[in-house]
């Protein structure tokens, strides 16, 4: 294979065959093809695109660059969920145990915070002792014994994606719907799953700001899943305001426990029901989405979801007593209300800025190496469409470091717009792509 010939072909808008794609990605993963040649190919792909067959081959090559977890000896369907990232998005934490309590296995490999969006692993690590780095054997054992585990990406799963993602980050090739789709799907397909529910976020707190972009991403990922034989459904959901009332790692664990106890916020609970129902349908334990929703509601009502959560936390070395006593979670030293500068309706929230304000407090990373402060965050009092008086709290800020507060407040001031008229809100579930 002549590496430059492959780059030239894509540069000129021609199709690559599966062998060429495989050889290129394999060669790059092994270090035989240098960064500069992969950078050139990525830019050619970014500008010229890939057709469905090429995209499928690209994803398979990334998947094949590492190990695929074998769960075939475990009875039952294995189904996962992936969110494209949002603010206050703690859904996986109550969702995975609830679905597992209903008989579908959930081998969930999650990520850390990325930019303004929070990460499930960072949230879970605010539970004292919780280990997101289970060995592959312990991960499989967890799925076998309790039906659910939530861990991080390991070195041997889709290593090509890790290398390529780092290169995309420094070559302005991240924002390609096809490369994003292949990256996400290759990582999910390593889990040995038969079904996948994608929560594709749209709005001011999402990477996809418009429904059109989100639809394109959703269709691309569903197409990849289909051609790989993984039943995939994408649910487009609104991210124009934080999900629930809590933003911040330990605060979101507290809210996840509330959801599992049936006392969680309406929007987050509704999303657990919607996504859970799809997971049950794909897992073959429910015949319809409506039936699935009612199964999820019942598992929350009778405590099965909460007890599965405790089992999972215990198995992964965490303090399961947090479920009954949230004072065991890390707490910030100080709190301060962030108040409305005028009376009116909350007409817009720049949700991305809220995510960045959390990073400013230390609750997310500005650089990859940054340590997370699990205790800081916000309790949101006013969301889109709410009326407020001048001086009324819009949020309470929980913080530890006075010096970080100014940057956080500046971002919050920019994020809230108070107007005369009540705004029209998008529905929480915007659409479904099957
Ligand atoms: N998340 C991923 O996992 N990959 C991308 O390319 C973008 C977001």
Phi, psi of 382 (to 5 degrees): -125, 125
Ligand 1 atom 5: residue of nearest CA: 180
The Cα 220–Cα 183 span in angstroms is 12
Pocket perturbation via mutation, ligand 1, pick of 58, 63, 85, 114 by most ligand atoms within 8 A of CB: 114
- Is residue 54 within 8 Å of 223, Cβ to Cβ? no
Is residue 53 scored above 90 in pLDDT? yes
Average pLDDT, stretch 351-364?
A: 96
Read off the pLDDT of residues 171-188 as tens digits, 9 standing for 90 and up.
Answer: 999 889 999 999 999 999
Q: Is 168 known to be catalytic?
A: yes
The Cα 124–Cα 322 span in angstroms is 12
The Cα 208–Cα 212 span in angstroms is 9
One of 161, 258, 350, 373 is an active-site residue; which one? Answer: 161
DSSP state of 115: T
Pull the structure tokens for residue 100. Answer: 């597992």
Q: Is 350 known to be catalytic?
A: no
Give the position, in ligand 1's atom list, of the atom nearest the Cα of 180.
6
Pull the structure tokens for residue 254. Answer: 């507290």
Ligand 1 atom 7: residue of nearest CA: 180
Pocket perturbation via mutation, ligand 1, pick of 163, 178, 184, 188 by most ligand atoms within 8 A of CB: 184
Q: What is the pLDDT of residue 113?
A: 86
- Is residue 252 within 8 Å of 375, Cβ to Cβ? no
Is residue 1 scored above 80 in pLDDT? no
CA-to-CA dists, residue 399 to 121, 205, 248, 254, 332, angstroms: 21, 22, 10, 17, 5
Read off the pLDDT of residues 244-256 as tens digits, 9 standing for 90 and up.
Answer: 999 999 999 999 9
Q: How confident is the model at residue 370 (pLDDT cuts 50, 70, 90)?
A: confident
Ligand 1 atom 3: residue of nearest CA: 184
The Cα 322–Cα 398 span in angstroms is 19
Average pLDDT, stretch 287-297?
A: 98
Whether 218 is in the pocket of ligand 1, judged by its Cβ within 6 Å, is no
Q: How confident is the model at residue 367 (pLDDT cuts 50, 70, 90)?
A: confident
The Cα 239–Cα 233 span in angstroms is 19
Q: What is the pLDDT of residue 214?
A: 97
Q: Is 183 known to be catalytic?
A: yes
The Cα 105–Cα 98 span in angstroms is 11
**Residues 107, 109, 112: CA angle, nearest 5 degrees:** 155
Phi, psi of 174 (to 5 degrees): -70, -45
Read off the pLDDT of residues 120-175 as tens digits, 9 standing for 90 and up.
Answer: 999 999 999 999 999 999 999 999 999 999 999 888 999 999 999 889 988 999 88
State the distance from the centre of ligand 1 to the C-alpha of 19, rounded, in angstroms: 24
Pocket perturbation via mutation, ligand 1, pick of 59, 114, 165 by most ligand atoms within 8 A of CB: 165
Read off the pLDDT of residues 191-218 as tens digits, 9 standing for 90 and up.
Answer: 999 999 999 999 999 989 999 999 999 9
Question: Of 140, 132, 227, which is closest to residue 192 (Cα–Cα)?
Answer: 140
Average pLDDT, stretch 330-353?
A: 98
Is residue 409 scored above 90 in pLDDT? yes
CA-to-CA dists, residue 126 to 117, 123, 170, 331, 360, angstroms: 16, 6, 30, 10, 18
- Is residue 3 within 8 Å of 27, Cβ to Cβ? yes
Q: What is the pLDDT of residue 5?
A: 97
State the distance from the centre of ligand 1 to the C-alpha of 127, rounded, in angstroms: 26
Is residue 112 scored above 80 in pLDDT? yes
Pull the structure tokens for residue 173. Answer: 């090739």
DSSP state of 150: E
Pull the structure tokens for residue 252. Answer: 């979101």
One of 81, 123, 163, 168 is an active-site residue; which one? Answer: 168
Give the position, in ligand 1's atom list, of the atom nearest the Cα of 111.
3
Whether 183 is in the pocket of ligand 1, judged by its Cβ within 6 Å, is yes
Q: How confident is the prediction for the chain on average, in pLDDT? A: 96
Backbone Cα Rg of the chain: 22
Q: What is the pLDDT of residue 11?
A: 98
Read off the pLDDT of residues 79-98 as tens digits, 9 standing for 90 and up.
Answer: 999 999 999 999 999 999 99
Ligand 1 atom 6: residue of nearest CA: 180
Q: Can you spell out the DSSP letters for 372-399?
A: P-TT-EEEE---TT-EE-TT-EEEEEEE
**Residues 45, 46, 50: CA angle, nearest 5 degrees:** 45
The Cα 377–Cα 90 span in angstroms is 13
Among the ranges given (53-67, 103-117, 118-132), the one the predictor scored with the smallest mean pLDDT = 103-117
**Residues 177, 109, 153: CA angle, nearest 5 degrees:** 85
Is residue 384 scored above 90 in pLDDT? yes
Q: What is the pLDDT of residue 291?
A: 98
State the distance from the centre of ligand 1 to the C-alpha of 170, rounded, in angstroms: 14
State the distance from the centre of ligand 1 to the C-alpha of 183, rounded, in angstroms: 6
Three-class secondary structure assignment of 63-76: HCCCCCCCCCCCCC
Is residue 368 scored above 80 in pLDDT? no
Average pLDDT, stretch 65-81?
A: 96
One of 22, 82, 308, 310 is an active-site residue; which one? Answer: 82
State the distance from the centre of ligand 1 to the C-alpha of 165, rounded, in angstroms: 7
Is residue 306 scored above 90 in pLDDT? yes
Whether 180 is in the pocket of ligand 1, judged by its Cβ within 6 Å, is yes
Q: Is 227 known to be catalytic?
A: no
Pull the structure tokens for residue 39. Answer: 């950078």
Q: What is the pLDDT of residue 175?
A: 87
Residues whose CB is less than 8 angstroms from the CB of residue 367 and which lie 6 or more positions away in sequence, other chains included:
none
One of 162, 187, 201, 382 is an active-site residue; which one? Answer: 187
Q: Is 82 known to be catalytic?
A: yes
Ligand 1 atom 8: residue of nearest CA: 180
Pull the structure tokens for residue 425. Answer: 């809100």
Pull the structure tokens for residue 350. Answer: 């720049």
Whether 184 is in the pocket of ligand 1, judged by its Cβ within 6 Å, is yes
SS3 at position 79? strand
Question: Of 144, 115, 119, which is closest to residue 352 (Cα–Cα)?
Answer: 115
């Amino acid at each position: 294979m002549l590496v430059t010939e492959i780059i030239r072909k894509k540069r000129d808008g021609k199709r690559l065959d599966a062998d060429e794609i495989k050889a290129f990605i394999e060669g790059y993963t092994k270090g035989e093809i240098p960064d500069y040649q992969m950078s050139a190919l990525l830019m050619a792909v970014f500008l010229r695109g890939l057709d469905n067959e090429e995209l499928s081959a690209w994803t398979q090559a990334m998947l094949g660059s590492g190990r695929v977890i074998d769960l075939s000896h475990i009875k039952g369907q294995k189904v996962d969920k992936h969110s494209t990232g949002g603010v206050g998005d703690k859904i996986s934490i109550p969702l995975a145990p609830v679905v597992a309590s209903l008989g579908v296995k959930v081998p969930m490999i999650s990520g850390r915070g990325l930019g303004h969006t929070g990460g499930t692993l960072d949230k879970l690590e605010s539970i004292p002792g919780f280990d997101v780095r289970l060995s592959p054997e312990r991960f499989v054992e967890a799925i076998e014994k309790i039906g659910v585990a939530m861990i991080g990406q390991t070195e041997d799963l889709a290593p090509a994606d890790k290398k390529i993602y780092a290169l995309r980050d420094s070559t302005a090739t991240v924002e390609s719907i096809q490369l994003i789709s292949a990256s996400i799907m290759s990582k999910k397909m390593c889990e040995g799953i038969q079904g996948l529910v994608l929560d594709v976020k749209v709005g001011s707190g999402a990477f996809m700001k418009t429904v059109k972009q989100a639809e394109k991403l959703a269709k691309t990922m569903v197409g990849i899943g289909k051609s790989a034989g993984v039943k995939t459904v994408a649910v487009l959901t609104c991210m124009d305001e934080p999900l629930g009332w809590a933003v911040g790692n330990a605060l979101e664990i507290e809210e996840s426990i509330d959801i599992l106890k049936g006392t969680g916020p309406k929007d987050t609970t509704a999303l657990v029901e919607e996504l859970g129902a799809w997971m049950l349908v794909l897992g073959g334990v429910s015949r319809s989405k409506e039936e699935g929703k009612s199964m999820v509601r019942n598992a929350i009502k009778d405590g099965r979801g909460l007890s599965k959560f405790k089992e999972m936390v215990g198995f992964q070395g965490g303090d399961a007593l947090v479920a009954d006593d949230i004072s065991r979670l890390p707490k910030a030293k100080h709190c301060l209300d962030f108040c409305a500068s005028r009376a009116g309706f909350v007409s817009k929230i720049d949700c991305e800025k809220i995510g960045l304000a959390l990073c400013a407090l230390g609750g997310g990373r500005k650089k990859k190496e940054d340590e997370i402060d699990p205790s800081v965050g916000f309790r949101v009092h006013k969301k889109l469409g709410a009326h407020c008086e001048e001086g009324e709290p819009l949020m309470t800020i929980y913080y530890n470091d006075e010096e970080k507060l100014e940057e956080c407040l500046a971002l919050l001031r920019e994020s809230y717009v108070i107007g005369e008229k009540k705004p029209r809100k998008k529905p929480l579930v915007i659409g479904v792509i099957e």
